[in-house]
């Protein structure tokens, strides 16, 4: 059975103000073209992903913070990649940890990382080009 054609973008950050900012930027740039889901921790994100998978709905893009309590972004993205390698993974970080970024690139196929505070156009463009690359592979 193939995945249901819903276009989902999942964002993970432990700061609600960041999640709200992402929601506002997505609505402003993509309107109702996508379903936007939000999680405040790595564990919550994994639950959301499993729920969508159980409903046979594919998540297209994940935008994750790196520095979060309990599970850092690189660890989360590696866990996700093991089961869902085609999801485009973007990491936002205010604390550029080169080892974590390199690890995420190598073990999670990280598409890109964007430093906080981010430029709205840079993030939107990264999402668009990441999805274009995904659909051509």
Pick the CATH number of 4-136 from 3.40.50.2300, 3.30.565.10, 3.20.20.100, 3.30.300.10: 3.40.50.2300
The predicted structure's pLDDT at residue 133: 84
CA angle (117, 105, 67) in 5-degree steps:
40
Q: Give the model's confidence band at 4: pLDDT under 50 very low, under 70 low, under 90 confident, else very high.
A: low
Q: What are the residue boundaries of the structural domains of the chain, listed by start? A: 4-136
Q: What is the tens place of the pLDDT at every residue in 80-114?
A: 999 999 999 999 988 878 899 999 999 999 999 99
Its pTM stands at: 0.93
């Amino acid at each position: 059975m193939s995945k249901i054609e819903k276009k989902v973008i999942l964002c993970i950050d432990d700061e609600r103000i960041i999640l709200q900012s992402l929601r506002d930027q997505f609505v402003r740039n993509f309107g109702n073209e996508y379903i936007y889901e939000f999680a405040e921790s790595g564990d919550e994100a994994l639950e959301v992903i499993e729920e969508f998978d159980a409903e046979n709905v594919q998540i297209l893009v994940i935008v994750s913070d790196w520095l979060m309590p309990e599970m850092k972004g690189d660890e989360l993205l590696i866990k996700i990649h093991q089961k869902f390698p085609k999801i485009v993974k973007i990491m936002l970080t205010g604390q550029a940890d080169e080892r974590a970024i390199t690890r995420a690139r190598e073990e999670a196929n990280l598409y890109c990382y964007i430093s906080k505070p981010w430029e709205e156009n840079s993030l939107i463009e990264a999402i668009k080009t990441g999805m274009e690359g995904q659909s051509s592979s």
